[in-house]
A and B are shown apart, each in its own frame.
Chain A
Amino acid sequence: MTHEQIHPLIKRVLENIEKVMIGKRNVAELSVIALLAEGHVLLEDVPGVGKTMMVRALAKSVGASFRRIQFTPDLLPSDVTGVSIYNPKEMEFQFRPGPIMGNIILADEINRTSPKTQSALLEGMEESSVTIDGVTHHLGKPFFVMATQNPIEYEGTYPLPEAQLDRFLLKMKMGYPEMADEMEVLNRVQKKNPIEELEPVIDLEELRELQMKCKDVHVDETIKRYIVELSNRTRTHGSVYLGVSPRGSIALMKAAQAYAFIYGRDYVLPDDIQYLAPAVFAHRIILKSEARFEGIGAEEVVERVMNRVPVPVQRLVK
């Protein structure tokens, strides 16, 4: 896809992120896609590969306010959403907004906290608003959550229920950097952390505009049908216990719109769908235990489904 031009504003953002995150272009790209599609991202990886750095770089590049919530088992929902405190001087309760009231939020180790707290965040993600003491507080616009999850620790964790997982537009892995890239990282951080010097390249207003424009990207009937066929096929696949929900289909379409937009196209291609389907679908699929024993992963299932569903090469005849 080299012959397509990346949208100039997005290009600036991506280049900005790359100053900090070396060799993680695809992760940065997916994050931007989620941001543009007004979705949220679940990052699953071991600590120390740069998840936080990624989010901070993104937040800084778009000039958004960045908040971080470190989830712990004793974290309370009010620690996330905010709390009303009595102000003796004013003689009334005053609302002190919690970390969720930012634009870009890093929800670190989301599976470490109790389901109660988790759901406070997830509700906010879904509704774009939180209700505290009967008052509805609208969240920032844009509102973008990047949750991280440590896949190796199971002790004392509260794995996200499937219904909650469904609310993330994408799930991705960071992965370790390449050797050369890692050396470059060392070079860059030797004197000082480059994140400190990062300047915003677009403002929030521009970001909102981009988000609006993404919705105008044409998704043809043929493509919609292709998306639906893909998700349908996951539901009937032999290794799958629970397939992709219609929410998953919507997510795939929105992500594809954003992806097409990034590459300066005003229509979605099957290629976009195929590129994004593993990231959008994999965490929404629950495999049968036999499949898990056989070592088949959800990504593999999505790949297989894609190989089986014919790509539309003709216009639909109505």
Chain B
Amino acid sequence: MISRKAQKDFITFFLYLFVHIMLWEWLRPLEQLTDTSNIGVFLLFILLSFLLAFMGTSLLVSIGIKMAYIVWMLHFLYFEESIFQLSWISQFVHDVIENIQILFARDWSSLSNIFRSLLFFILLWLMTYLIQYWLIKRRQILLFFLLTLIYITVLDTFTPYDAGLAIVRTVISGFTVLGMLTFYRLLEKEVIQIKTIPIKKWMYPLLIMIAMSVGFGLASPKAEPIWPDPVPYIKSYGKDSGTSDGKGLQKIGYGLDDSNLGGPFIGDNTVIFNAEANSRHYWKVETKDVYTGKGWVTSSSRDEREPFGYEELVPIQSYNNDAKVEIKEEVSTVFSMGNDAHIVYPLGIKQIIAAPFYTFEKETATEKIHSIEGNIPVSIEQYSLVFDKPSYSVTALNEASSVENVAADRELIDHYTMLPDDLPSRIRDLAIEITEDKDSWFEKTREIEGYFRKSGFSYDQLDVAVPGPDDDYVDQFLFDTKRGYCDNFSTSMVILARSIGIPARWVKGYTEGEYKGLGDTGSRMFEVTNNNAHSWVEVYFPGVGWVPFEPTQGFSNSVQFNFDTYLAEDRQPEAIEQEEIEREKPELADKNENKTVSAFSFEKLFDRLKDLLTDHWKWIVSIILVIAFLVFLIYHFRGRWLPFYLAWRFKWTRKDENLPKAYLLLLRELGRYGLHRKEGQTLRDYADYVDRFFSSSEMGRLTTCYEQLIYRGELKAGSWEETKELWENLIKKTIA
């Protein structure tokens, strides 16, 4: 490294100026995006640092000045009394000591503002030193320039910060600095005194080129972004998601309006609530009963509500009080993170336990429960839900569709088998075809549910069609696209069931969420995000009640069917598939079933992987490309870092066995440097060539030593120690 005295010429001043502009760009967004204020103070510090560097102030003086500035500014920002009263100093020292302890405790959020500012000053100090080193010693700034560009573009993309002008400023200053530094590097390579050559001849074309390219860049038309702006989806927090306008991308999540289903969805990780539960179960929000051909609406007004207090039973009857459903009381607790003024509840809800000042209203049409405080709908932060977890007897379900039972519930059944008049008839034909071998409603429903797992359907969130004005949503999915997400599958199943007279309704809510581990009380913790918004099917069985079904690929039903005697009589693969849910209670299933279950879950895993691939292949491909590109860069520029690494690696070795390793690596590195050894060239010949190239005798001396090792078979002890320096010098010469 050539040591250079501080140059106080015009060009160096401009170098510092432009680099200052670039560093400024790092600070600009802070004011807008973080709670950092008084950016000017920091900016002044950078300016001061560069000025001191430009003036060539000696190290000690410069450290003194900078420290004085930092202390002065910290006082200015955080202390009231006069700087000369000195009492603030003890306060400050105390604060620093305390914060260092916090630092070691890794309790980042507790750091005080004054300490943060101090750290920030130190960071800037390091930054300015590093930049000065790049600028003056290495004469390279590309890395910093690139990082600045990436920083700005990322901020522009993902935050409200508008970097339109920032990018122009950065490009101008970055390219100017790059151009000037190239000039310097050339001068130093050719050992030319700067005074002897006309700088203008270089600088004017440089400035003209930059001005022209920036001018063209500004003037030329900009193409619209190819990717949709990800920001709105990241920014929004669930409340406005899920509403579909039938066009364009929607964000996954829970919404109110389902009258126009279809179209692609993208994921959203916003957490809606955390839950503590003893077993996994879906979370219901509401149900819909009327299918329009495009989506779901409710038959009666949503304002029709049934209020109830916090200690009253929830007016939703989940099971017809029969002994036909085995129930087990459980309690789940919801910790709400969003602003939804409704309750999410499991199937079999009995009671909501929350603070006594909350009351609830149940929408009759949808079974949606609103949480009310006074008269205002509010979001309850924490509430527990007492519910009966069902385990349906298959025998009972099979018996439910007997003629007497159906007649008893005629009205309800008629309501939930309503279909639009213009429903294509082939839907019904398909439903009949699917269920032709089966007798009971339950078996038929299971056939329909299972139909989606085969027959070429695939789960997809992006490539999902929107039905045209003349299309039926279900018809399009069943016969044309066969690609879709939960809405497609669940709606289709409801319509298929209804078309053959089985009463069914559409349920919206969330899946059990992501399992996060055991909570304090031994119950399981789940995190439910907008990604877990889901829709499924409930089928009404007279005498039993509403029973949930899960037609969507990649999801499994969260309720249990108890195959008591039914299984023994008629063992069907589809039936066993449902048993997967019962993994949690393996004692219920016999060994044979377990086997089948594991085979099925493996298949399911494969399906999920496939879904993942099909849903996110663009992301996966781009990540792979980026990684490949990075690997390529690292490999391509290995000349910059590999010799350092090798020199470091062998620096501390003493054993002579390292000589051959080191020597062969040196050969490789020399080859990479451009000094190729021909296959038939002897080492000695090659060493002569290398030494002539570097005007040294190091390679020859090292080679003589190595020759002894490989052609004589032995080596004087300590040879590596002796030749290590030669080797190090050589390997450093291969730095690109």
- Indicate if B106 sits at the interface (CB-CB under 8 A): no
Would B680 and A269 count as touching, CB distance under 8 A?
A: no
Residues A309 and B682 in contact in the complex (CB < 8 Å), given A270-B711, A315-B660:
no
Main secondary structure of the interface of B (DSSP, over half): helix
- Contact at A271–B684, with CB atoms within 8 Å? yes
Q: Give every chain A residue within 8 A of B667 (Cβ-Cβ).
A: 313
CB atoms of B678 and A223 under 8 A apart: no
Q: Is A199 an interface residue (CB 8 A)?
A: no
Residues of chain B lying within 8 A (CB to CB) of residue A220? 710-713
Q: Which residue of A lies closest to B706 (CB)?
A: A313
For the complex, is B303 an interface residue (Cβ under 8 Å from A)? Answer: no
B680 contacts A271, C-beta separation under 8 Å: no
Interfacial chain A residues near B679, Cβ < 8 Å:
307-311
- Which of under 10, 10 to 19, 20 to 34, or 35 or more describes the interface residues of A? 20 to 34
Are B678 and A266 interface neighbours, CB within 8 A? no
With both beta carbons as reference points, the residue of chain B lying nearest to A309 in the complex is identified as B680
C-beta contact mask, A302-318 vs B, less than 8 Å → 1, else 0? 00001111111111000
A218 part of interface (Cβ distance < 8 Å): yes
With the chains together, A310 CA to B682 CA distance in Å?
A: 9
Q: Which of B665-680 contact A (CB under 8 A)?
A: 667, 678-680
In the complex, the chain B residue whose C-beta lies closest to that of A315 is B710
> Does A54 have its Cβ within 8 Å of any Cβ on chain B?
no
Docked pose: A314 CA to B661 CA in angstroms:
9
Could you tell me if A271 and B712 are in contact, using CB atoms closer than 8 angstroms? no
Given the complex, which residues of A lie within 8 Å of B708, measured CB to CB? 267
Chain A residues with CB below 8 A from B680, complex form:
274, 306-311
Give Cα A187–Cα B648 distance, bound, in whole angstroms. Answer: 63
Q: Is A268 an interface residue (CB 8 A)?
A: yes
Task: Give B676-712 as 1s and 0s: 1 = Cβ < 8 Å from A's Cβ atoms.
Answer: 0011111111000000000000001000000111111
Assess the A269–B711 pair: CB atoms within 8 A.
Answer: yes
A222 in the interface, Cβ–Cβ < 8 Å? yes
Chain A residues 250-283 with CB under 8 Å of chain B are 266-271, 274
Whether B712 lies near A313 (C-beta < 8 A) is no
CA distance A73 to B440 in the complex (A): 121
Complex Cα gap A311–B711 (Å):
11
Expressed in whole angstroms, the minimum distance between the Cβ of A119 and any Cβ of chain B is: 38
CB-contacts of A55-112 with B (<8 A):
none
| Residue pair B712, A311 in contact (C-beta under 8 Å) | no
Check B683–A313 contact: CB distance below 8 A. yes
Cβ-neighbour of B711 out of A223, A274, A309 (below 8 A): A223
Contacts of A222 in B (CB 8 A): 710-711
| B664 neighbours in A (Cβ, 8 Å) | 313-314
Contact B711 A314 (CB under 8 A): no
Q: In the bound complex, do residue A314 and residue B683 qualify as a contact, i.e. CB atoms below 8 Å apart?
A: no
Name 13 A/B residue pairs within 8 A (Cβ), A-sorted.
Answer: A218-B711, A220-B710, A220-B711, A222-B711, A267-B707, A267-B713, A270-B683, A271-B684, A274-B680, A274-B682, A308-B679, A314-B660, A314-B664
Residues of chain A touching chain B, judged by Cβ–Cβ distance below 8 Å, are: 1, 3, 218, 220, 222-223, 266-271, 274, 306-315
Q: In the complex, given contacts A274-B682, A311-B681, A313-B710, what are 14 additional A-B residue pairs having Cβ atoms less than 8 angstroms apart?
A: A218-B712, A222-B710, A222-B711, A267-B708, A267-B713, A268-B711, A269-B707, A269-B711, A270-B711, A271-B682, A310-B679, A313-B664, A313-B683, A315-B660
Could you list which residues of chain B lie within 8 angstroms of chain A, going by C-beta atoms?
Answer: 660, 664, 667, 678-685, 700, 707-713
